[in-house]
Structure 1
Amino acid sequence: MTVQKVAFVTGASRGIGLSISQMLVRSGYKVYGICKHPEKCDFKHDLFQLIGCDLSNSKEIDHLMNQQILEKKDISLLVHNAGLAYFAPVEELSSEKIREMVNLHITAPMLLTSHFTRILKQNQGRIIFIGSVAGKEISPWGNVYASLKAGIHHYARELFAELRKFGVKVHLIIPDITKTDFYNYLNFEPDDDPKSYLLPNQIAEVIEDLILEDKGWVVPEIQISPELFKLKRKKQN
């Protein structure tokens, strides 16, 4: 009897997370998707189950980890994708926004990784972190977001070194400008030129190439960038 492949994906209801989830479903995975507002996701499939959880709230994370997921022991893929960004001069970022970003980008991935690592060791599974090029560069007004991404990049690299001896593969995917609703709360967005941004399904394609064939070697880190670098400021109403 073939064991069902099971994946756990955060931020799964939209953007990059949804594209990854759809790719996994097409590949035969049962996907447990975590998101804040499951009701806003239009994608439905027998192999796709959304679970509501605000990953910036540690109490909700505790509740999530205690939920009875039938195939929990079969999880072989953990994808950390959920994220959001507030860009502003450091003195203008509220304590609520700073805490929300810290919890979502650092606390949640670390708690979930700790929770699932024993299962992933047993299944010789994978952990995928969706980072950001902002974590490699100096970002004006992106001080908190970029610093947190740099932190999770380093965490992923540490895990790669720690877990490879147990057969757990860790990948850090670093997308550059990607056309999603990530930019809804920012005063800039990708340019109209299609060569200046990535699409979520392109990130999913890269991950598909990594996970579907076990070739006996691992690519621990990949940066994906569009051909051109162009941004534009949003028009003020």
Structure 2
Amino acid sequence: MKDSKVALVTGASRGIGLSISRMLVGLGYKVYGIARNPENCNYSNDKFHLISCDLNDVKQLDRILDTIPDKKDVSLLVHNAGLAYFSPVEELSSDKIREMVGLHITAPMLLTTHLTRFLKQNKGRIVFIGSVAGKEISPWGNVYASLKAGIHHYARELFAELRKFGVKVHLIIPDITKTDFYNHLNFEPDEDPKSFLLPDQIADVIRDLVAEDRGWVIPEIQISPEFFKLKRKNKVK
């Protein structure tokens, strides 16, 4: 009998990914977390194994997956890693576009392709962390919002394709969440605590979805704070 269930979480060293990882450890999962800078993580547990990997490096990603000793036991895959650059379309550099495409589209598709055979064997789950930006018109969010809309549709396609194999696919669409996602942007959540979500709240929703097999699936859920408020950052002179 297996000692624990096995999960793989991307972007696991901070923010929403770390909250999800901690929650899963609490449910008895052994969690393999992929992060670009695992040394910045402030959480440790015997069941939490951070792996250093740049998800935009396809060869590195393939090598890392081959080093996970119990990869065949993975029953939960959480696509969480992400970043955003907001600017007028003519000012967005090709490097930033490639970075966002790789992180939001290429890496999740490659990971899913690599692990689906095991998820089928284990009657597992895939969780996508989307964004409300993928449902709305986002000023200067032209590439980021389009990529999120794309991964939303990919999640919906997978739900339809994999449900007959016992693999449950969930698309979680958070609204404004207070993380360091906004560190390099020119706007951030308002101070009003009712105007933003916290990473642990996202993790709580996922816990309710994965804690037990009820024989039914919620394929998509949007989570929003009570109020919509953003603020522009003060420009540094």
Q: What band does the TM-score fall into relative to the shorter chain?
A: over 0.9
TM-score (norm 1): 0.98
The Cα of 1:61 is off from its aligned counterpart by 1.6
Between the aligned residues of both structures, percent identity stands at 78
Matched residue, 1:30:
30
The answer to whether the Cα contact below 8 Å between 2:65 and 2:71 also exists between their aligned partners in 1 is: no
Matched residue, 1:5:
5
Query: Secondary structure, in 3 states, of the residue corresponding to 2:209?
Result: helix
Matched residue, 1:169:
168
After TM superposition, the structure 1 = structure 2 runs for residues 86-125 of structure 1, keeping only pairs within 5 Å, are 86-125=85-124
Give yes or no for the alignment of 1:71 onto 2:70. Answer: yes
The answer to whether the Cα contact below 8 Å between 1:3 and 1:74 also exists between their aligned partners in 2 is: no
The Cα of 1:2 is off from its aligned counterpart by 4.2
Matched residue, 1:195:
194
Query: Secondary structure, in 3 states, of the residue corresponding to 1:33?
Result: strand
Give, in whole Å, the separation in 1 of the partners of 2:37 and 2:183: 16
The answer to whether the Cα contact below 8 Å between 1:23 and 1:208 also exists between their aligned partners in 2 is: yes
Query: Secondary structure, in 3 states, of the residue corresponding to 1:137?
Result: coil
Query: Secondary structure, in 3 states, of the residue corresponding to 1:185?
Result: coil
Matched residue, 1:53:
53
The answer to whether the Cα contact below 8 Å between 1:55 and 1:104 also exists between their aligned partners in 2 is: yes
The answer to whether the Cα contact below 8 Å between 1:159 and 1:170 also exists between their aligned partners in 2 is: yes
Give, in whole Å, the separation in 1 of the partners of 2:228 and 2:54: 33
Give, in whole Å, the separation in 1 of the partners of 2:30 and 2:209: 18
Give, in whole Å, the separation in 2 of the partners of 1:65 and 1:74: 13
After TM superposition, the structure 1 = structure 2 runs for residues 206-225 of structure 1, keeping only pairs within 5 Å, are 206-225=205-224
Give, in whole Å, the separation in 1 of the partners of 2:96 and 2:57: 12
Give, in whole Å, the separation in 2 of the partners of 1:5 and 1:121: 14
Give, in whole Å, the separation in 1 of the partners of 2:93 and 2:2: 50
Misfit runs of 4+, over 3 Å:
none
Q: Which whole-Å deviations, capped at 9, do the CAs of 1:78-107 have from their partners, x for residues lacking one?
A: 000000000000010100000000000000
Query: Secondary structure, in 3 states, of the residue corresponding to 1:86?
Result: coil
Give yes or no for the alignment of 1:20 onto 2:13. Answer: no
Give, in whole Å, the separation in 2 of the partners of 1:194 and 1:90: 32
Give, in whole Å, the separation in 1 of the partners of 2:193 and 2:83: 23
TM-score (norm 2): 0.98
